[in-house]
Amino acid sequence: MTNLALLVLRLVTGGLMAGHGTQKLFGWWSGPGLKGTQGFMEKLGMRPGHVWGTMAAVGETSGGVLTALGALHPLGPLNIMSAMIVAARRAHWGKPIWVTSGGAELPVTNLAIAASLAMTGPGKISVDRMLGFRMPRQLAVLAWISTAAITIAAIRKPEVAQTVVEKAATVMPEALRGTVAPDLEMETRPTPSMEEASQEAGVGL
């Protein structure tokens, strides 16, 4: 029964997170799309928005898919944990905890589930178990450390991404360097109402 319970948690949490990520990444399910997500990151003070917005969209999508499948553990739950911590701090901080008030109720719930899955493993009913895959301990530790570092940077020092981009540009071939600023769009949200409160407290940013 334990493995069945883990499967249910993975499918529901991972599936919904993947769907939320594709709203950001592709604009599916009436989502803002990548440009809207990047613009929203700028609004939150996470600049450059094209870096953090893309990372959020890819992180939520990949985290959801990997968690649902139980593949490459613990990368899936770690991606979800990082996204939810940043969402709670950057988008919902300072509000009452409840979803009806725009608070971090759902991100915190998803964070708790992802953390539990990260610690317990995906269970027997998973792609990893079917393929006999187990991530080497050193790589798993590196994944935890790198995820923690990115999460801390997103919360406390988002401007570090600009420094990384600028340094990377200096070693890239001229043809691959961006010549203009990204064309960002500001994510639009409903007018103040109970509907807005529910959407603002969704599973992501």
pLDDT category of residue 192 using cuts at 50, 70 and 90: very low
Q: Average pLDDT of 76-90?
A: 97
pLDDT category of residue 193 using cuts at 50, 70 and 90: very low
Q: Average pLDDT of 109-138?
A: 97
Q: Which of 66, 65, 85, 87 is nearest to 75 (CA)?
A: 66
pLDDT category of residue 197 using cuts at 50, 70 and 90: very low
Please report, rounded to a whole number, the percentage of residues in the chain having pLDDT higher than 90.
76
Tell me, yes or no, if the pTM score tops 0.85: no
Q: What is the pLDDT of residue 203?
A: 44
Q: What is the pLDDT of residue 172?
A: 57
Q: What is the pLDDT of residues 38-52, one digit of tens each?
A: 999 999 999 999 999
